[in-house]
Structure 1
Amino acid sequence: MDPVALVRAHGLVAPRSLLLDAGATPWQIEKALTDRRLFRVRRAWYAVPDAPADLVRAVRVGGSLTAVSAAGRAGLWTIDDGLLHVSVPRNAARLRSPDDRRTPLGDDSDRVCVHWRRVPGATTRLIEPLPSALIHALECQPEEHAIALLDSAMDKGLVTRRELEIAFGDLAPRYRDALSRADGRAQSGTETLVRLRLRARGIRVRIQVEVGPDRVDLLVGERLVIECLSREHHTGVENYARDRSRELRMVDGGYLQLTLSYEQVMFQWPEVERVILRRLADRDHLWPRTRS
């Protein structure tokens, strides 16, 4: 068996044991290394030259991608914290620098966050299963960011609430509390963050509410509509026209609409919150007939 083809079939990085078990010979492996069709990631692990850097670096450390590093690969909404998140066995030894297999894993300069697997033993996985990766995210991320990951995973159909309940079942109460506040209907991380922040203030917020022919992200009270733009939102001609028509219908129906950009939610929240609280204090979120 061609070891290069076997490595590609495994996900572009593979252990020596897998290649030998599939029929590759030591001579074939060494020949592929000599010909530079493979390179050595760490002891008994190999990769093809075009293997993704994050996978190579995680294996070089001695584990698998997890937490936000794995979530980003799955297409989930994430906030990049600048770290490589790696899951390793509880008995792992000889962890290496992600950039040099000859150098032990060092201090913060390596920018690696190590997560210890709950299940003992080595694995050939390159990426942690999603429920485990989400548990690891809750270990190291701000809670609202981790809940946004839970929302995103359920919204995309990559995991069910029941699967998460089983995975979180024997964990500390804070994990189950985070899951209880997750909602798979949320369609963007910014929507999740706004929902959590307002509810933390004791404000009643409904999500994905049908208002006439439209579905809105958040509805506060009876008439305050909050739309949350994602980082990827584009204002092309078609989107722009659709958004303006939507806003016109909201105003015509007597609703107040507040459209928040990614930057406003992430970096200007105190100012945004002040505006929302003022509108609530003035009872603008209620229809005139019910304000008294």
Structure 2
Amino acid sequence: MDAPTCVKALGRVAPRSLLLEAGITPWQIEHALNDRRLFRVRRAWYAVPDAPADLVRAVRVGGSLTAVSAARRTGVWSIDDGLLHVSVPRNAARLRSPDDRRTGLRDDSAGTCIHWRRTPGATTRLVEPAVSWLIHALECQPDEYAIVLLDSAMQRGLVTRRELEIAFRDLPDRYRRALARSDGRAQSGTETLARLRLRALGIRVRIQVPIGPDRVDLVVGDRLVIECLSREHHTGVENYASDRGRELRMIDGRLLTMTLSYEQVMFQWSEVERVILGRIADRDHLWPRSRHPRNPVSQE
């Protein structure tokens, strides 16, 4: 195995120490650097030319991806704040600019958010473990977005509620409050945001409710079904046909359905809230007393 192949196997960015452990010689590293099959990220760290930019930039700073940056890398539903979130040891020194290893990271460096790990010493990790990056995310994200991250990480199986309970035990109260409001059943961040906002209004909301062969995101009252789409959701012909079939079954069961787009949840929530509150004020979310539903919604 040559040096570039070894670096690729280690995640496309790797420290000198792991290359030497794998049997790569210093001469092989230098040869690959001279041939431009590797480039130097910072002292004793190397990357292949097609290495992911976020990993390269975090290592160049002097740490590993964390918080929202780690969420994006691991596929967790998150709101992009435009920052590079980097975890560094509490005794870290000589932090560098993410874009130039010869330039120090100054206090006014735009676009970089530093999170100080509680433990000293360097790490060879490119991305912090899930529990760690979630702790860092709760340091800098608004409550709603932090709960989105908790929901999504649990739903994807990256972390369990028990692991978070243990990790948050000695942290400030806001961590435990966020966890208490989280629910790993949520299928998207838009669903989480809608749930949190409706409950903040004192509205009882059930999530992931089975209705016949289907399962819906949110149910308010007896029959107001709210489906929340992600930005990338339901674009193919197969998904479109499946969604229309679901809607037909809902209408046949006399359910009141509302499908919210990503843009409506993220940018037009006041209008969504007005419509939902209007439906509740008119008691449209409850079964009429004189009519028996064909397809009652599970009350579990």
Instruction: Say yes or no: TM over 0.5.
Output: yes
Q: Report sequence identity in percent.
A: 81
Instruction: State the alpha-carbon separation in 2 of the partners of residues 239 and 6 from structure 1.
Output: 41
Q: Map 1:1-292; keep pairs closer than 5 Å.
A: 2-289=2-289
Residue 39 of structure 2 contacts residue 49 of structure 2 at CA under 8 Å; is this kept in 1? yes
- Return 5+ residue gaps in structure 1 as ranges: none
**Worse overlay, 176-185 or 24-33:** 24-33
1:25 Cα deviation after fit: 2.8
Residue 96 of structure 2 contacts residue 105 of structure 2 at CA under 8 Å; is this kept in 1? yes
TM-score (norm 1): 0.95
Distance 1:237 1:48, change over 3 A: closer
Instruction: State the alpha-carbon separation in 1 of the partners of residues 79 and 8 from structure 2.
Output: 29
Q: Which amino acid aligns with 1:40?
A: R
Instruction: State the alpha-carbon separation in 2 of the partners of residues 237 and 14 from structure 1.
Output: 42
Distance 1:202 1:40, change over 3 A: same
Q: Which amino acid aligns with 1:122?
A: A
1:47 Cα deviation after fit: 1.0
Give the number of aligned pairs.
291
1:108 Cα deviation after fit: 4.7
1:242 Cα deviation after fit: 2.2
Instruction: State the alpha-carbon separation in 2 of the partners of residues 28 and 242 from structure 1.
Output: 55
Instruction: State the alpha-carbon separation in 1 of the partners of residues 210 and 61 from structure 2.
Output: 48
Instruction: State the alpha-carbon separation in 2 of the partners of residues 191 and 283 from structure 1.
Output: 23
Stretches of 4+ moved more than 3 A in 1? Answer: 107-110
Residue 77 of structure 1 contacts residue 149 of structure 1 at CA under 8 Å; is this kept in 2? yes
SS at match of 2:174: helix
Residue 205 of structure 1 contacts residue 220 of structure 1 at CA under 8 Å; is this kept in 2? yes
- Return 5+ residue gaps in structure 2 as ranges: 291-300
**Worse overlay, 238-247 or 120-129:** 238-247
Distance 1:240 1:22, change over 3 A: closer
1:243 Cα deviation after fit: 1.8
